[in-house]
Structure 1
C-alpha cells in the first residue's frame, strides 16, 4: 500500500461528492492509519454499517445523532466517538456539520475510489 504525501493542503486536495449530502476529503494515510474529513449537509445520514476497522470520529461542527451498537447519543463540536471493529454504527446530522474520521487499518475501499 502506498502512503499519502507528508503535507496536505485543503484547497488543493480533492473533495469527493459521495451523494446523499455527504462529501469526503482524504487527509492522510499509510498502511496503519487513515484520516478523512466528512461534510454532512443538513439532514444527511451516514447509514448504519459495520467494517473491520477501528474508528475514532471527532465532531468539528454541527450536531450529530450517532448510533454505535444500537446506542444513540447527540454529539456536538468538540465531542468524539469510538467504534470497535465490526460494530454497527451510523449518524444523522440534522444541522449540517463536519466530522474528522480516523481508521486503523486504513479503509481500502476509500483508497480504491481515490485512485
Structure 2
C-alpha cells in the first residue's frame, strides 16, 4: 500500500474508477490511519452487503440511500450519515442515484492494490 496520498487532491485531476454495476469511486485522500472516498451510485445501484475490519462513517451528499447495518435498514438523504462499526454486516441500495463520502479507519488497503 502506498503510505499516503498527495496533500492536495483536485476532483477534475483525480482518477474516477468504474467499479461496474452502476458504481464509481474516487480517492479523496488517505494515509495508513484514515481514508476518504467519493462513491457515485447510478439509479438502482446496489452496494452489496459485506463486512470489513475498518470503522466507517458515510455521509450522503446527494440522493436517497437505503442503508442496512447488521439487519437494521434506514433511509438516508442528503446531510444524513451513519457509523458502521468494524465487522458489521452492511450495504446500501440507491433508488434515485446519488453520491456518498465514505471515510475509513484505518485505510482500506484493498482499495489501493493494483
Tell me the TM-score normalised to structure 1 length. Answer: 0.97
Residue 84, structure 1, aligned to residue 109, structure 2: no
Q: Provide the C-alpha distance between the structure 2 equivalents of 1:5 and 1:52, rounded to a whole number of angstroms.
A: 25
The alignment of Structure 1 onto Structure 2 pairs a total of residues equal to 113
Q: Provide the C-alpha distance between the structure 2 equivalents of 1:2 and 1:56, rounded to a whole number of angstroms.
A: 21
Q: Give secondary structure in 1 for the equivalent of 2:112.
A: helix
Q: Provide the C-alpha distance between the structure 2 equivalents of 1:46 and 1:36, rounded to a whole number of angstroms.
A: 14
Q: Give secondary structure in 1 for the equivalent of 2:111.
A: helix
Q: Give secondary structure in 1 for the equivalent of 2:18.
A: strand
Runs (5+) with no aligned partner, structure 1: none
Q: What stretches of structure 1 move > 2 A for 4+ residues in a row?
A: none
What do you get for the CA RMSD once the two structures are aligned? 0.6
Q: Provide the C-alpha distance between the structure 2 equivalents of 1:44 and 1:18, rounded to a whole number of angstroms.
A: 11
Shift of 1:27: 0.1
Residue 105, structure 1, aligned to residue 98, structure 2: no
Q: Provide the C-alpha distance between the structure 1 equivalents of 2:58 and 2:110, rounded to a whole number of angstroms.
A: 18
Runs (5+) with no aligned partner, structure 2: none
Shift of 1:98: 0.2
Residue 56, structure 1, aligned to residue 54, structure 2: no
Shift of 1:70: 0.4
Q: Provide the C-alpha distance between the structure 2 equivalents of 1:77 and 1:69, rounded to a whole number of angstroms.
A: 22
- 1:7-62: CA deviations, max 9, x gaps? 00000000000000000000000010000000000000000000000000000000
